Amino acid sequence: MKVIVHGGAGDTPDEPEPRQQVLNDAAATGAEASSVVDAVESAVRVLESSPRFNAGVGGAVQSDGEVRTDAGVMTDDRRAGAACSMPGVEHAVSAARVVLEETPHVLVSGDRAVDLAADFGVETGVDLWTESSRERWEGYDTPEGSPSEHLEWLREKFGGADTVGAVATDGEAFAAATSTGGRWLALAGRVGDVPQIGSGFFAAPAGAASATGAGEDIAKATLTRRAVRHLESGLGAQRAADRAIEEFAELTGASAGVIVLDADGEAGSAFNSDGMQTAVRSGD
Protein backbone atom coordinates (compact mmCIF):
# COMPACT_ATOMS: atom_id res chain seq x y z
CA MET A 1 0.00 0.00 0.00
CA LYS A 2 1.24 3.48 -0.87
CA VAL A 3 -0.44 6.58 0.52
CA ILE A 4 0.04 10.30 0.02
CA VAL A 5 -1.79 12.82 2.21
CA HIS A 6 -2.11 16.60 2.30
CA GLY A 7 -3.05 19.04 5.02
CA GLY A 8 -4.44 21.84 2.88
CA ALA A 9 -3.11 24.52 0.56
CA GLY A 10 -3.08 27.99 2.03
CA ASP A 11 -0.91 30.26 4.13
CA THR A 12 2.39 29.04 5.55
CA PRO A 13 1.42 27.44 8.90
CA ASP A 14 2.65 28.96 12.16
CA GLU A 15 3.75 25.58 13.52
CA PRO A 16 4.68 23.39 10.54
CA GLU A 17 6.59 20.73 12.51
CA PRO A 18 3.72 19.39 14.64
CA ARG A 19 1.41 19.55 11.62
CA GLN A 20 3.93 17.53 9.64
CA GLN A 21 4.07 14.91 12.38
CA VAL A 22 0.30 14.45 12.21
CA LEU A 23 0.52 14.12 8.43
CA ASN A 24 3.29 11.54 8.79
CA ASP A 25 1.15 9.61 11.26
CA ALA A 26 -1.84 9.78 8.93
CA ALA A 27 0.12 8.46 5.96
CA ALA A 28 1.66 5.70 8.06
CA THR A 29 -1.77 4.69 9.35
CA GLY A 30 -3.14 4.49 5.83
CA ALA A 31 -0.16 2.48 4.60
CA GLU A 32 -0.96 -0.25 7.13
CA ALA A 33 -4.47 -0.81 5.71
CA SER A 34 -5.49 -3.85 3.72
CA SER A 35 -7.63 -2.09 1.08
CA VAL A 36 -7.36 1.24 -0.69
CA VAL A 37 -10.66 2.48 0.77
CA ASP A 38 -9.53 1.52 4.27
CA ALA A 39 -6.26 3.31 3.56
CA VAL A 40 -7.73 6.66 2.59
CA GLU A 41 -10.43 6.55 5.25
CA SER A 42 -8.03 5.71 8.09
CA ALA A 43 -5.50 8.32 6.95
CA VAL A 44 -8.10 11.08 6.68
CA ARG A 45 -9.64 10.17 10.05
CA VAL A 46 -6.30 10.93 11.72
CA LEU A 47 -6.34 14.40 10.17
CA GLU A 48 -10.01 15.00 11.00
CA SER A 49 -9.25 14.34 14.66
CA SER A 50 -6.43 16.90 14.78
CA PRO A 51 -7.38 20.51 15.55
CA ARG A 52 -4.38 21.59 13.46
CA PHE A 53 -6.35 21.05 10.25
CA ASN A 54 -9.60 22.41 8.84
CA ALA A 55 -11.52 19.13 8.85
CA GLY A 56 -13.54 17.50 11.59
CA VAL A 57 -12.44 18.98 14.93
CA GLY A 58 -11.45 22.60 14.40
CA GLY A 59 -13.40 22.98 11.17
CA ALA A 60 -14.33 26.39 9.83
CA VAL A 61 -17.39 28.18 11.22
CA GLN A 62 -20.21 29.29 8.92
CA SER A 63 -22.13 32.54 9.18
CA ASP A 64 -24.71 31.13 11.61
CA GLY A 65 -22.05 29.92 14.07
CA GLU A 66 -22.22 26.26 13.03
CA VAL A 67 -19.33 24.00 12.01
CA ARG A 68 -20.43 21.77 9.11
CA THR A 69 -18.28 19.08 7.53
CA ASP A 70 -18.07 17.66 4.00
CA ALA A 71 -16.19 14.71 2.47
CA GLY A 72 -16.00 12.49 -0.58
CA VAL A 73 -14.50 9.10 -1.45
CA MET A 74 -13.98 7.47 -4.85
CA THR A 75 -12.38 4.29 -6.19
CA ASP A 76 -10.91 3.52 -9.60
CA ASP A 77 -13.96 1.45 -10.61
CA ARG A 78 -16.08 4.65 -10.47
CA ARG A 79 -17.74 3.91 -7.15
CA ALA A 80 -18.18 7.15 -5.25
CA GLY A 81 -19.83 8.52 -2.15
CA ALA A 82 -20.00 11.96 -0.58
CA ALA A 83 -21.73 13.65 2.34
CA CYS A 84 -21.93 17.35 3.02
CA SER A 85 -23.22 20.15 5.23
CA MET A 86 -23.15 17.95 8.35
CA PRO A 87 -23.13 19.55 11.81
CA GLY A 88 -21.50 17.50 14.55
CA VAL A 89 -19.81 14.89 12.34
CA GLU A 90 -16.09 14.67 13.06
CA HIS A 91 -15.36 11.87 10.61
CA ALA A 92 -17.06 13.11 7.49
CA VAL A 93 -14.93 10.71 5.45
CA SER A 94 -16.64 7.78 7.19
CA ALA A 95 -20.05 9.28 6.40
CA ALA A 96 -18.98 9.54 2.75
CA ARG A 97 -17.95 5.89 2.81
CA VAL A 98 -21.41 4.97 4.08
CA VAL A 99 -22.91 6.70 1.04
CA LEU A 100 -20.49 4.84 -1.25
CA GLU A 101 -21.06 1.39 0.22
CA GLU A 102 -24.62 1.43 1.56
CA THR A 103 -26.67 3.60 -0.79
CA PRO A 104 -27.43 3.84 -4.52
CA HIS A 105 -26.50 7.56 -4.37
CA VAL A 106 -23.31 9.58 -4.67
CA LEU A 107 -24.17 12.55 -2.41
CA VAL A 108 -26.34 12.98 0.68
CA SER A 109 -26.59 16.30 2.52
CA GLY A 110 -27.46 18.06 5.73
CA ASP A 111 -29.33 16.57 8.66
CA ARG A 112 -30.34 13.54 6.57
CA ALA A 113 -26.69 12.78 5.95
CA VAL A 114 -26.08 13.00 9.69
CA ASP A 115 -28.95 10.57 10.33
CA LEU A 116 -27.62 8.18 7.69
CA ALA A 117 -24.14 8.27 9.17
CA ALA A 118 -25.48 7.59 12.65
CA ASP A 119 -27.53 4.66 11.36
CA PHE A 120 -24.33 2.99 10.19
CA GLY A 121 -22.27 3.61 13.31
CA VAL A 122 -20.57 6.93 12.56
CA GLU A 123 -20.43 9.09 15.68
CA THR A 124 -22.56 12.24 15.49
CA GLY A 125 -23.28 15.12 17.85
CA VAL A 126 -19.55 15.81 18.27
CA ASP A 127 -18.38 19.21 19.51
CA LEU A 128 -16.17 20.35 16.62
CA TRP A 129 -15.13 23.64 18.21
CA THR A 130 -11.62 24.22 19.51
CA GLU A 131 -10.44 26.92 21.87
CA SER A 132 -8.85 28.85 19.02
CA SER A 133 -11.88 28.63 16.73
CA ARG A 134 -14.16 29.77 19.53
CA GLU A 135 -11.90 32.71 20.33
CA ARG A 136 -11.79 33.66 16.67
CA TRP A 137 -15.57 33.45 16.29
CA GLU A 138 -16.21 35.46 19.44
CA GLY A 139 -14.06 38.24 18.03
CA TYR A 140 -16.65 38.96 15.33
CA ASP A 141 -19.80 41.04 15.51
CA THR A 142 -21.82 38.08 14.27
CA PRO A 143 -24.86 38.55 12.00
CA GLU A 144 -28.52 37.88 12.62
CA GLY A 145 -31.49 37.79 10.30
CA SER A 146 -31.96 36.50 6.77
CA PRO A 147 -29.44 34.97 4.36
CA SER A 148 -29.18 38.28 2.50
CA GLU A 149 -28.18 39.97 5.75
CA HIS A 150 -25.60 37.24 6.37
CA LEU A 151 -24.24 37.78 2.86
CA GLU A 152 -23.82 41.48 3.44
CA TRP A 153 -21.86 40.74 6.62
CA LEU A 154 -19.56 38.05 5.24
CA ARG A 155 -18.58 39.49 1.85
CA GLU A 156 -15.32 40.93 3.18
CA LYS A 157 -14.71 38.15 5.69
CA PHE A 158 -15.27 34.90 3.78
CA GLY A 159 -12.01 33.09 3.11
CA GLY A 160 -9.55 30.38 3.99
CA ALA A 161 -8.98 27.29 1.93
CA ASP A 162 -7.61 24.43 4.01
CA THR A 163 -8.79 20.87 3.41
CA VAL A 164 -7.29 17.42 4.05
CA GLY A 165 -7.06 14.49 1.72
CA ALA A 166 -5.48 11.15 0.91
CA VAL A 167 -4.81 9.02 -2.16
CA ALA A 168 -3.86 5.34 -1.98
CA THR A 169 -2.89 2.48 -4.28
CA ASP A 170 -2.07 -1.15 -3.62
CA GLY A 171 -0.49 -1.55 -7.04
CA GLU A 172 -3.78 -2.47 -8.68
CA ALA A 173 -6.62 -0.36 -7.28
CA PHE A 174 -6.83 3.34 -6.39
CA ALA A 175 -8.90 5.40 -3.97
CA ALA A 176 -9.07 9.10 -3.18
CA ALA A 177 -10.71 10.88 -0.25
CA THR A 178 -11.01 14.52 0.72
CA SER A 179 -12.54 16.08 3.85
CA THR A 180 -13.08 19.63 5.06
CA GLY A 181 -14.72 21.97 7.49
CA GLY A 182 -15.27 24.40 4.63
CA ARG A 183 -14.19 28.03 4.40
CA TRP A 184 -14.31 30.47 7.28
CA LEU A 185 -17.45 32.60 7.54
CA ALA A 186 -19.11 31.12 4.48
CA LEU A 187 -22.86 31.53 4.17
CA ALA A 188 -24.63 28.95 6.33
CA GLY A 189 -25.20 25.88 4.18
CA ARG A 190 -22.42 26.66 1.70
CA VAL A 191 -20.83 23.58 0.12
CA GLY A 192 -17.59 23.81 -1.83
CA ASP A 193 -15.60 21.51 -4.07
CA VAL A 194 -14.77 18.78 -1.55
CA PRO A 195 -17.84 16.52 -1.93
CA GLN A 196 -18.10 17.10 -5.68
CA ILE A 197 -16.78 14.27 -7.86
CA GLY A 198 -13.98 15.46 -10.14
CA SER A 199 -13.47 18.61 -8.12
CA GLY A 200 -12.32 17.71 -4.61
CA PHE A 201 -11.57 14.07 -5.39
CA PHE A 202 -11.37 11.67 -8.32
CA ALA A 203 -10.15 8.14 -9.07
CA ALA A 204 -9.81 6.13 -12.28
CA PRO A 205 -7.76 3.15 -13.49
CA ALA A 206 -4.91 5.52 -14.43
CA GLY A 207 -4.64 6.97 -10.92
CA ALA A 208 -6.31 9.23 -8.39
CA ALA A 209 -6.14 12.74 -6.94
CA SER A 210 -7.27 14.89 -4.02
CA ALA A 211 -7.46 18.68 -4.15
CA THR A 212 -7.40 21.58 -1.73
CA GLY A 213 -7.71 25.33 -2.03
CA ALA A 214 -10.26 27.87 -3.23
CA GLY A 215 -13.28 25.60 -3.39
CA GLU A 216 -15.55 27.53 -5.72
CA ASP A 217 -12.75 27.84 -8.27
CA ILE A 218 -11.72 24.19 -7.88
CA ALA A 219 -15.30 23.14 -8.57
CA LYS A 220 -15.55 25.29 -11.69
CA ALA A 221 -12.21 23.97 -12.99
CA THR A 222 -12.84 20.31 -11.93
CA LEU A 223 -9.27 20.16 -10.68
CA THR A 224 -8.91 16.49 -9.72
CA ARG A 225 -10.56 15.27 -12.93
CA ARG A 226 -8.12 17.50 -14.80
CA ALA A 227 -5.14 15.95 -12.96
CA VAL A 228 -6.29 12.39 -13.61
CA ARG A 229 -6.97 13.19 -17.26
CA HIS A 230 -3.29 14.09 -17.55
CA LEU A 231 -2.42 10.68 -16.09
CA GLU A 232 -4.68 9.11 -18.70
CA SER A 233 -2.80 10.99 -21.43
CA GLY A 234 0.47 9.41 -20.30
CA LEU A 235 1.97 11.92 -17.87
CA GLY A 236 3.46 10.70 -14.59
CA ALA A 237 2.10 11.81 -11.22
CA GLN A 238 4.37 14.82 -10.71
CA ARG A 239 3.96 16.19 -14.23
CA ALA A 240 0.20 15.65 -14.05
CA ALA A 241 0.00 17.56 -10.75
CA ASP A 242 2.16 20.39 -12.08
CA ARG A 243 0.16 20.67 -15.30
CA ALA A 244 -3.19 20.65 -13.49
CA ILE A 245 -2.15 23.47 -11.14
CA GLU A 246 -0.68 25.50 -14.01
CA GLU A 247 -3.96 25.21 -15.91
CA PHE A 248 -5.98 25.97 -12.79
CA ALA A 249 -4.01 29.16 -12.15
CA GLU A 250 -4.42 30.28 -15.76
CA LEU A 251 -8.16 29.62 -15.69
CA THR A 252 -9.02 31.09 -12.30
CA GLY A 253 -6.17 33.17 -10.89
CA ALA A 254 -6.89 31.45 -7.57
CA SER A 255 -4.76 29.22 -5.36
CA ALA A 256 -5.01 25.46 -4.91
CA GLY A 257 -3.04 22.28 -4.45
CA VAL A 258 -3.37 18.68 -5.60
CA ILE A 259 -1.85 15.31 -4.70
CA VAL A 260 -1.69 12.47 -7.22
CA LEU A 261 -0.74 8.79 -7.45
CA ASP A 262 -0.19 7.11 -10.82
CA ALA A 263 -0.28 3.55 -12.14
CA ASP A 264 3.45 3.10 -11.43
CA GLY A 265 2.84 3.95 -7.78
CA GLU A 266 4.62 7.27 -8.10
CA ALA A 267 3.38 10.20 -6.03
CA GLY A 268 3.14 13.80 -7.13
CA SER A 269 2.02 17.07 -5.56
CA ALA A 270 1.80 20.68 -6.67
CA PHE A 271 0.40 23.93 -5.31
CA ASN A 272 0.44 27.65 -6.07
CA SER A 273 -0.44 28.87 -2.56
CA ASP A 274 2.09 29.90 0.08
CA GLY A 275 2.29 26.35 1.39
CA MET A 276 0.94 22.81 1.29
CA GLN A 277 2.32 20.09 3.54
CA THR A 278 2.22 16.47 2.39
CA ALA A 279 3.46 13.08 3.53
CA VAL A 280 4.04 9.82 1.64
CA ARG A 281 4.34 6.34 3.11
CA SER A 282 4.49 2.78 1.79
CA GLY A 283 3.46 -0.32 3.70
CA ASP A 284 5.78 -3.20 4.46
CA distance 72 to 202: 9
Residue type, 114: V
- Residue 122: phi, psi to the nearest 5? -80, 130
Give catalytic status of residue 130 as yes or no: no
| R_g over Cα of the chain | 17
Report the candidate in 30, 27, 26, 86 with the shortest Cα–Cα distance to residue 50: 26
Residue 223, classed as helix, strand or coil, is helix
Strand partners, 68: 87
What residues contact 268, with CB distance under 8 A and at least 6 apart? 236, 237, 238, 239, 240, 241, 242, 259, 260, 261, 262
User: Per the residue annotation, which of 69, 75, 124, 163 is the catalytic one?
Assistant: 163
d(C-alpha 231, C-alpha 130), whole Å: 39
Q: For residue 88, which amino acid is it?
A: G
Q: Just list the catalytic residues.
A: 163
